Each structure stands twice: as C-alpha cells, then as structure tokens.
Amino acid sequence: MATCHILVVDDEAHIREVVQYALQQAGYRVGEARDGAGTLAYLGRSPVDLVVLDIMLPDADGLSLCGKLREIRPGTPVLFLSARGEEIDRVVGLEVAGDDYLTKPFSPRELVARVKAVLRRVQTPAEAPQPEAVLRLGSVSLDEQRREVRCGDALIELTATEFALLLTLLQRPGVVFSRTQLMEHIYGLDSHVTERTVDTHIRRIRAKFRPHDVIPIRTVHGVGYKAELV
C-alpha cells in the first residue's frame, strides 16, 4: 500500500515540527501549512489522505476552513487540534465534519494512534474478505468497496467516521450496539472519546438522510443504536 500523505496545519512552528516528526517516524509522508491560505493552496495542487488541522489560525477559523476543505477535497478526513478542551468545542468540531478531535497538549504517540485509527476507517485493505460488497436496508445501500452510501439514487456524502459507524450497524441490522461498543468498533480500545461523540455522529448521519424521508438508525433508549428504518 502506498505511503499515506498527511497535511499538518498549525501556525506554531514547533507544533508542526513535533507532529511532522512523529508522523514521519510512523512512516507517513507529511506536508505542512501555517495558515488558511497556505492550506487551500496546498490542497489545490496536491491530494492528501488526511489533514491534521488546528482550529485557531491567524487568517482563518479552522472550523470554517474545514468546510472549504470538503469542497476542494471531498471525503478527506480531518483530525482537529485545539488548545480548547471543553466538550462543547469537541462537539462543534465534529459537527462541522471533523473525524476526530485532539486537545493540546497531546502526546505524539496518541496523535499517531488517532491518525492510524482515522485512516483505518477510510481504507479497506484489498486482502480483507468481502462477503457482501453492498449492504442494504430498505432504500439505503452501502457499497464498502466503492465507499459509497446511497438513498435510492441519491448519493449521501459521509465522512470516514460516519461511514464506518453506519457500516458497523448495517453489517448486523436489528442488532443493538451500545455506545461503548460503537466507540470500540470505530475508535479502538484505547480511545478517549466520550459517548457524546457517538451521539454527534449519529445525529449528523440522520440529518443527511432526513431530506430523503429516510432515517436508517433507531435509538434504543438506555441502551444504544441499531440499524432499522425509522
């Protein structure tokens, strides 16, 4: 598999150096930008597999910049960095289509682990068994190999994390998954995300299906979620 290309965006040079070194040691190819203008220019000339994006930039709000990034490179996963650690900030970051959120100060080891987890959700190894390439639930279909989700003929744009979450549920329709189980499936056993993060992703998935009058995920109060048309 080709070496993944990661763009690190932060206005602090020493943060970029720490992140770049950690990711290069883990075998990734790393580019960098220090502001919003540099980020958009970089993405305009080069595709990347993931963006590590600081929320506070000198010329742009990282949350708004994420929206522009999605227009230039749809489907590219984003891991937010921020000195703000309040839960509301993490939720807002995820609401604007971030795939994960890491607060400063952070350990390089945790950063690399989060990057690997996000990339695992994006990539489907060629050698992995594909017992059923397309999963269906009513008018909802998920093509794991093409990484496409549709409602009827309409293409539903999901982030890597949203795709992995819906895939987990559709692989066992009707089975109830607790929030903890979903976090373990999506983020791994060493995750530090909260159950609120899962709720945020579920809410975003539902919002994307709602214009088509279909909701493929049902809440089982006090337990978790299951793939079932609502």
For 124-162, the pLDDT digits (tens) are 544 444 455 799 999 999 998 888 999 999 999 998 888
Structure tokens at 130: 């594909």
Q: Which CATH class is domain 134-227?
A: mainly alpha
Residues 2-25: tens digit of each pLDDT: 689 999 999 999 999 999 999 999
CA distance 219 to 202: 9
| Domain extents in the chain | 5-122, 134-227
Q: How far is CA 123 from CA 15, 102, 116, 190, in A?
A: 27, 21, 10, 20
The pLDDT of residue 129 is 45
Please give the CATH number for the structural domain made up of 5-122. Answer: 3.40.50.2300
**Which is more confident, 118 or 91?**
118
Residue 173, amino acid:
P
**pTM for this predicted structure:** 0.61
Name the nearest CA neighbour of 187 among 85, 134, 110: 110
Q: Is 226 helix (H, G, I), strand (E, B) or coil?
A: strand
pLDDT at 73 exceeding the cut of 50: yes
